[in-house]
């Protein structure tokens, strides 16, 4: 199993901090016991081909992409039968007080 983790937002509660803190996990369940993950490699190749076709840099952010690029991203993953699971934790920090910010920091610590 290979798990990739990324976060968005920040753990702060001060003015100017993000409203949401998001932790996302992408899980590839296969392993050929040689340390290789065929589904992760296939997914990486699919994403690389999209970058080359669209001229995007190796890392792109959906917020900066057109609808066409976003649609192409998911269409390519589906067309190539890329096999992975996505899990996301979204915390709306408005529901917590600054005193409870430790909850978000603990979540970040658990996943890092």
DSSP one-letter code for 63 = G
Tell me the C-alpha distance between 48 and 78, whole Å. Answer: 15
Phi, psi torsion values for 43, nearest 5 degrees = -65, -45
The torsion region of residue 19 among left (phi > 0), alpha (psi -120 to 50) and beta comes to: alpha
What count of residues does the chain have? 112
- Joined tokens for residue 93: 């920090």
- Joined tokens for residue 100: 């409870």
pTM beyond 0.75: the answer is no
Instruction: Check: CB of residue 68 under 8 Å from CB of residue 74.
Output: no
pLDDT per residue of the chain (112 residues) written in tens, 0 to 9:
889 998 888 878 888 999 998 989 999 988 777 888 889 999 999 888 888 888 777 677 777 888 888 888 888 888 888 889 999 989 888 887 666 666 666 766 666 5
């Amino acid at each position: 199993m290979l798990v990739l983790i990324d976060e968005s937002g920040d753990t702060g509660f001060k003015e100017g901090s993000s409203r949401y803190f998001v932790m996302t996990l992408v899980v590839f369940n296969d392993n050929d016991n040689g340390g290789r993950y065929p589904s992760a490699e296939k997914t990486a190749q699919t994403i690389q081909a999209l970058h080359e076709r669209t001229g995007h840099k190796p890392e792109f952010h959906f917020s900066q992409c057109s609808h066409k690029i976003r649609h192409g991203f998911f269409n390519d993953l589906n067309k190539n039968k890329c096999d992975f699971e996505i899990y996301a934790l979204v915390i709306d920090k408005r529901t917590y007080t600054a005193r409870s910010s430790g909850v978000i920091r603990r979540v970040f610590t658990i996943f890092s």
